[in-house]
Amino acid sequence: MKKIIECVPNFSEGRNPEVIEAISAAISSVAGCTLVDVDPGRSTHRTVYTFVGDPESIVEGALAAARVAKATIDMRKHKGEHPRFGAMDVCPFVPVANVTMDECVEVSKRFAERASAELGIPFYLYEESAEHEYRRKLPDLREGEYEGLAERLKDPRWKPDYGPENFVPEWGITATGARKFLIAYNVNIIGTSNQAHRIALNLREAGRSPEEPGRLKDVKGMGWYVDEYNVAQVTVNLNDFQVTPIHVLFEEVKKEAAALQVAVAGSEIVGVVPREAILMAAEYYIEKENLFIYEEEQKIRLAVERLGLNSVAPFKPKEKIIEYIVAGERDEPLASLTLRGFIEEVAARTSAPGGGSASAAIAAIGAGLGAMVAKLTWGVRKFDAVQSHMKEAIPVLHEVSQQLIPMIDADTSAFNEYMEGLRMPKSTEKEREARKAKMQAGLKTAIQVPLTTMRLGDKAWDALIVVAQYGNPASRSDSQVGAKSLETGIWGAYQNVLINLEGIKDSAYRDEILSEADVLMSRARTKCAEVLKILGE
């Protein structure tokens, strides 16, 4: 699955459209980076950019932006309402999908190292990247702002983590690091700004005072009135949506509003949001209302409706959810082909796509056929007695079929690392050892992909047995084809595991993988036979 990191650099320029556009263009020009939002502020004299990319391209995008800032922003002339101490004031990296916080920490350090060396500018590390606890929080780093920076840098305690130790007057200093995703979220109140602020004080972590804290962790907030919408708002920053999710904040505001006898009229997300945050809300309402919804698009729709996210402006998932914004860049050229096109690619006089990709596709079709039969049984009156069984089987088969689709392309690209090793120089003993290590790592990658196909396919068997027992009997042949296709897909993946294991020198690793693959293959034979036996009877 594609790794996605968000970068949110803040630049000390909010009034010169040429500079703002030049930074935008620099980010957009980097392959693999998608510029999501540009938010300039004239009074703050500051522009916030949001872009996403993989771990490699995100560093290049931040570097491209920093180069423009170095050439166009002079902090000696800067005045603005927002606290700041650098031309690129802050540059956080945020894990969004399939990437860890530790990876983002390394990305921030790689960026600081390269930018400081190339541009001669200093950096502090903050948040999760901080190497000193007293440097973790941005307000502590920014104390005294740009105007006090020259004096502060004389103190060894405030020596930069990267770059020159002396004051660079035209630049100042930049804070970079890794942090969790911050969601800017507003709940609309048909009431006064005072009432909205009372609610915010009761809920935000800081509360009214240290002696009177609020109920929700990792929440900052206040109340205000928005003339444009003609409503008051409880406006918050959710610093960690895993700790306090969107739906929890919304439901707590509803309770507070009811106590004040004022109405809640929906909410809005400012900027973009991770897919997971919206799906968490959907799962909450599905459980609360005892609903059965398994398709992601419908889950998103439920969350949007329950949270009232269309109340002040249309909530367009493809423009608001990060993973959907970058979906067009998904690296699935084979899975995105027409069926005819895929078959023609397989039949072409090339070694890839080959049996591994075909096996993933066949397994996906097998799970998909099981899902189809279950869905054709669900909601039909004459099958009321078996609805609980379909409710159990449908989500599993639907999800497995979706998870197997990316494996079609993953298998074809699995040998990339091995081929890179094969092309490495081998003139010296050191080069030969490095080449050998790279090739072995590549083979292990090539093994893990079909093994993952086997693992995913294995998750579908119990649900397929349920469908065989209770599914619409008119679709018996579909279930039979589904079971045999799933077994064939797993068998094909198994053959790919075996052939790549032959080149592995690590006997312990080889034995461990073979043992797991043998178990999965044996289960596939047994479970397929069980499905066919049930259907045959």
Helix (H, G, I), strand (E, B) or coil at 190: strand
User: Which phi and psi angles does 430 have, rounded to 5°?
Assistant: -65, -45
Q: Give the N- to C-terminal CA distance of the chain in Å, as an integer.
A: 41
The answer to whether the beta carbons of residues 219 and 205 sit under 8 Å apart is yes
List 54, 89, 161, 411, catalytic entry: 411
- Listed in order, strand segments (DSSP E) in 204-343 are 219-226, 231-238, 263-270
Q: What are 451's two structure tokens?
A: 């093994």
| Helix or strand holding residue 454 (H, E) | helix 429-458
Active-site residue flag, 506: no
| Helix or strand holding residue 123 (H, E) | strand 123-127
List beta partners, residue 366: none
Residue 31: which residues within 8 A CB-CB, separation 6 or more?
Answer: 57
- The alpha carbon of 137 is separated from its chain's Cα centroid by a whole number of angstroms, namely 24
3-state percent breakdown (helix, strand, coil) of the chain, nearest 5: 55, 15, 30
Q: What is the rounded distance in angstroms from the CA atom of residue 389 to the CA atom of residue 371?
A: 12
| Helix or strand holding residue 97 (H, E) | strand 88-97
Active-site residue flag, 82: yes
Total residues found in the chain within this entry: 537
List 37, 39, 82, 240, catalytic entry: 82
Nearest of 141, 150, 163, 225 to residue 190 by alpha carbon = 225
Q: What are 376's two structure tokens?
A: 């054709």
Catalytic amino acids? 82, 411
